Amino acid sequence: MTTIERWSGVEVRALREAMRMSLREFAAHLGVSERMISKWEAGRENIRPRPVNQAALDTCLTRSDADTRARFSRLIGTDALLTAGEAEAVKPIGSDHVRHSVDGSLMALVEGSVFQAGPGNTPLWLPSYYIDVYPVSNQEYAQFVAATGAHTPRHWTGGTFPADLAEHPVVFVTWPDAVAYAEWVGKALPTSQQWEKAARGTRGSIYPWGDQATPAKCNVRENGIGNTTPRDCYMSGGSTYGVHDLCGNVWEWCSTETSPGRYELKGGAWTSPFVRATPSSFNDAAASMCDDDTGFRCAVPA
């Protein structure tokens, strides 16, 4: 593997040509404007992109196929390159999973970078954070209820959840319920942008698994299941960060307020048509909304 110690406009142009992309395609791939790419290339060795863009270029190069890297090496020459022995090893996305110190939940690192946000794929910068790999389960929520005396979701009987739903996402939780759980465990609800980046990656994939519309990879209305499923039921539908259940199963509360008393929901649910499960789609609800298709997951700053 090779990488660049410090990028200039010369290396930027070489990478674009090695990837055989137009200015427009390359700008969209990096999440910057065409004008910025033109400025870098025109400035040649006198231009040094900002650190966030240097990181994006590094990622772009290391994830290119062998033929692209070979073309880049020929265009740039060997003097500007670092070998794998000279550069720090790059960890594959999705390899940085940790256990939270309080509840033991598995969390994935989403490193700070630009990503494509919303239906218009607007480039936005987010700092690093961790997000739950799965939505909060009935079993995890039961620990919160036992510790705090919080009220139980309405589908629980005798103060506990049905045994066969232990690994299903908890539902019938309002936004304040979700916030109370997150605060108890030392986390927070993710912003809608944090949630979306964990689902779509830096390249703005339409779905967590890529751009192909595949309802079979998630629990949505078309599949006719008619209820929630275990959180690890659709492992092939995970995102590049190794985060799962981001399409379908349950809508997930976010911390982003859309108007007084209303908050964003992400991901669609088992009650939703597949088209509504697109991670870039917008949905919101009153904080008091409590339904059988709505749950949540948590996040913490890195």
The share of the chain scoring above pLDDT 70, in percent, equals 91
Please name the residue that has the structure tokens 């969209």.
28
Each residue's pLDDT tens digit, 187-225: 999 999 999 999 999 888 999 999 999 999 999 999 999
Mean pLDDT, the chain, integer: 87
**Whether the model pTM is above 0.85:** no
Tokens matching residue 257: 């307020």
Is a pLDDT exceeding 50 seen at residue 116? yes
Q: Which residues pair with 82 in a beta bridge?
A: 3
Q: Which residue has the higher pLDDT, 40 or 49?
A: 40
> What pLDDT score does 145 carry?
96
- Mean pLDDT for the stretch of residues 118-123: 91
| pLDDT value of residue 251 | 98
Q: How far is CA 276 from CA 108, 222, 241, 265, 266, in A?
A: 25, 11, 22, 11, 9
Q: 44 falls in which pLDDT band (50, 70, 90)?
A: confident
Average pLDDT over residues 103-126: 90
pLDDT at 25: 84
Phi/psi at 270 (5° precision): -65, -20
Higher local confidence (pLDDT), 51 or 166: 166
pLDDT tens for residues 133-150?
Answer: 999 999 999 999 999 999
Three-class DSSP category at 249: coil
Find all residues with CB under 8 Å of 184, minimum gap 6, and list them.
144, 147, 148
Mean pLDDT, residues 247-258: 98
Mean local confidence (pLDDT), 173-200: 97
- C-alpha of 153 from chain center: 28
Q: What is the pLDDT of residue 94?
A: 56
Beta strands across the sheet bearing 129-132: 97-99, 106-110, 129-132, 299-301
Residue 147: what pLDDT? Answer: 93
146 close to 234: Cβ distance less than 8 angstroms: no
Instruction: Name 172's Cβ contacts closer than 8 Å, sequence gap at least 6.
Output: 153, 154, 155, 290, 291, 292, 294
The whole-number pLDDT of residue 3 equals 56
